[in-house]
Structure 1
């Protein structure tokens, strides 16, 4: 999957050092995110989603240490205060909070800010609100509780063309299905379990 992601990033001419690959952590589906992060190629991104866990700062600090060692970009899901506390490189916003992107970037000029998008309209709004990129989902069927009906590679390509900005694809993306996304115009790929199990 990393090779396909790198191919997409080069073809898209990624700006602002956007990582070609994003690993989204999940407390249940990726219980040992540090181990997965340690296998990622240099320049990849990790989106640490703590979901309000009591030990979020400690777990975030451990991921930050791995990220520094491996040359990874660390984003924190939604929680800007936690991102600042652990010295992260930015935040990933849920779709409903994408409007905060420009304000966060003004407060933290070096941060990378991405936003989730579950439709073409949401993707346009996220980029218009100042997000550096949007993460469209779900591309394929996913076990995520928040995953909607999968849009597939063809509709994803249409979304990317209509949005005219950096878009990642998330949801059911693994090594095998990643190849189906080579001609979609994505800036990169995003995955949860797809990076934990290279055979998918």
Structure 2
């Protein structure tokens, strides 16, 4: 089934860009600017810090009627009753995440540029699959590149939403939407902005791409 909520600007936090006290203001600015999904991604904080920050971000997303997902940690997502989790190919698998989260939560899966992985994820119960990187990425510069044509192929083969990631900004994101992406996952083009008002403006520009398709 196509999950109707997986659509729009998908903001992903990065501790290298957003320091502790900047996290909530930056996230709220992205939500004010139109982000419909927010993923908490932080591989450096302690478990206690991660839980505290995730709970704060979830409360913020609920205020803005946006979905909140946790990166790579279904146990934390279950603990704070997040809307879902995003997992990679080495994060324990969809079945484990589903056991921890239950049937009503969202599970997204990274599939790089591999349509076979996406088909397997969909068959295993993923709610969306993510492809990328489509453009040079500052967050993951060594990630394998993906050709936008994979979105055309996936749109023909899959009924679940497609998320595009990797170096996306307001100049290049439109072409991915035209090829069938349902959501654009963005890190640097949002959170490299030095002040919340600039984050909000960047989110507005990215969100406007969805109105043009």
Gaps of 5+ in 2: 194-201, 207-213
* Structure 1 position 69, deviation (Å): 1.5
TM-score for both structures, normalised by structure 2: 0.75
Q: Work out the CA distance in 2 between the residues paired with 1:58 and 1:64.
A: 10
**Length, aligned pairs only:** 188
Are 2:73 and 1:83 equivalent residues in the alignment? no
Taking only aligned residues, the RMSD between alpha carbons, in angstroms, comes to 2.7
Are 2:52 and 1:58 equivalent residues in the alignment? yes
TM-score for both structures, normalised by structure 1: 0.80
Are 2:114 and 1:114 equivalent residues in the alignment? no
CA separation of 1:127/1:177 partners in 2, compared to 1, >3 Å: closer, same or farther?
same
Query: Counterpart of 2:118?
Result: 123
Are 2:5 and 1:17 equivalent residues in the alignment? yes
Q: Work out the CA distance in 2 between the residues paired with 1:21 and 1:101.
A: 27
Are 2:165 and 1:170 equivalent residues in the alignment? yes
Gaps of 5+ in 1: 1-12
Query: Counterpart of 1:72?
Result: 66
Are 2:36 and 1:44 equivalent residues in the alignment? yes
CA separation of 1:102/1:58 partners in 2, compared to 1, >3 Å: closer, same or farther?
closer
Output one character per residue of 1:27-68: Cα deviation in whole Å (capped at 9) or x when no partner: 113333322321325671111123262111111122122112
Work out whether residues 30 and 193 of structure 1, in 8 Å CA contact, stay in contact via their aligned partners in 2.
no
